């Protein structure tokens, strides 16, 4: 599996493919992930995590960077003790995804990357996202829903970290619009969009 990295520059290099596959708690055919560089794991019980991660122990997936959405992982709290457990038990995990920006520094201390998610409900959410990045220094910021990110990505470009977009991304045209707006990549569970990485 990829080595853990916690500096912004290291993870910037990993977001040079437009689509990040999002997986839930079911194994998936490795060939579908072949063109991806980064993979997001969303949810499922912690008891199934070993089985889900085992699918990456093959030639097609071994060098992928894997981020886990700790907020959606059943059976663990989203706190520093959970990060310590995940670090020790699952070395294949390179980083976390969370809305809890205060976990960023704890993740970095443990050698994990951290992607903070911000939901774009209103203009205050934009200001909050900028404040979070400046004060917590995550490795990337994910804006949700992705269709809204296309309209506000420019507000975040001065932060000098990768800006990602996720949620309600259903077509290649939407992916193109979001990338053109300044986002580094989009995250999606739609298999057909994963193939854009191979173009």
Cα separation, 198 vs 161, whole angstroms: 24
pLDDT for the residue numbered 13: 52
Residue 59 vs residue 41, higher pLDDT: 41
Looking at the predicted structure, is the pLDDT value of residue 199 above 90? no
Q: How many CA atoms lie within 13 A of 96 on its CB side?
A: 30
Looking at the predicted structure, is the pLDDT value of residue 91 above 70? yes
Which H/E stretch holds residue 188?
A: strand 185-188
Query: Mean pLDDT across the stretch 70-89?
Result: 94
Looking at the predicted structure, is the pLDDT value of residue 196 above 50? yes
> Phi and psi for 5 in degrees, rounded to 5?
-135, 145
Sequence-distant (≥ 6) Cβ neighbours of residue 151 within 8 angstroms: 181
Each residue of 140-152: pLDDT tens digit?
Answer: 999 999 999 999 9
pLDDT for the residue numbered 16: 83
Query: Mean pLDDT across the stretch 89-113?
Result: 95
Write down the pTM of the prediction: 0.92
pLDDT for the residue numbered 10: 55
pLDDT for the residue numbered 12: 55
CB 6 within 8 A of CB 107: yes
Q: pLDDT tier at 3 (50, 70, 90 boundaries)?
A: very low
Name the residue ranges covered by the structural domains of the chain: 8-190
In CATH terms, 8-190 corresponds, of 3.40.50.1970, 3.40.30.10, 3.40.190.10, 3.20.20.70, to: 3.20.20.70
């Amino acid at each position: 599996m990829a080595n853990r990295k916690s500096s912004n520059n290291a993870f910037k290099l990993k977001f040079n493919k437009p689509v990040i596959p999002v997986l839930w708690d079911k194994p998936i055919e490795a060939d579908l992930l072949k063109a991806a560089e980064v993979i997001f794991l969303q949810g499922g019980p912690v008891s199934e995590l070993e089985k889900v991660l085992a699918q990456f122990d093959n030639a097609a997936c071994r060098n992928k960077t894997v981020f886990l959405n700790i907020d959606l992982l059943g059976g663990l709290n989203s706190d520093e003790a959970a990060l310590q457990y995940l670090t020790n038990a699952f070395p294949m995990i390179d980083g976390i995804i969370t809305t809890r920006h205060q976990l960023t520094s704890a993740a970095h201390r443990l050698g994990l990357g951290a992607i903070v998610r911000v939901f774009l409900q209103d203009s205050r959410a934009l200001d909050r996202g900028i404040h979070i990045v400046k004060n917590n220094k995550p490795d990337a910021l994910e804006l949700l829903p992705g269709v809204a990110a296309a309209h506000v990505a420019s507000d975040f470009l001065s932060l000098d970290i990768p800006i990602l977009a996720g949620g309600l991304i259903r077509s290649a045209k939407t992916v193109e619009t979001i990338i053109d707006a300044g986002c580094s990549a989009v995250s999606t569970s739609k298999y057909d969009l994963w193939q854009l990485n191979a173009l």
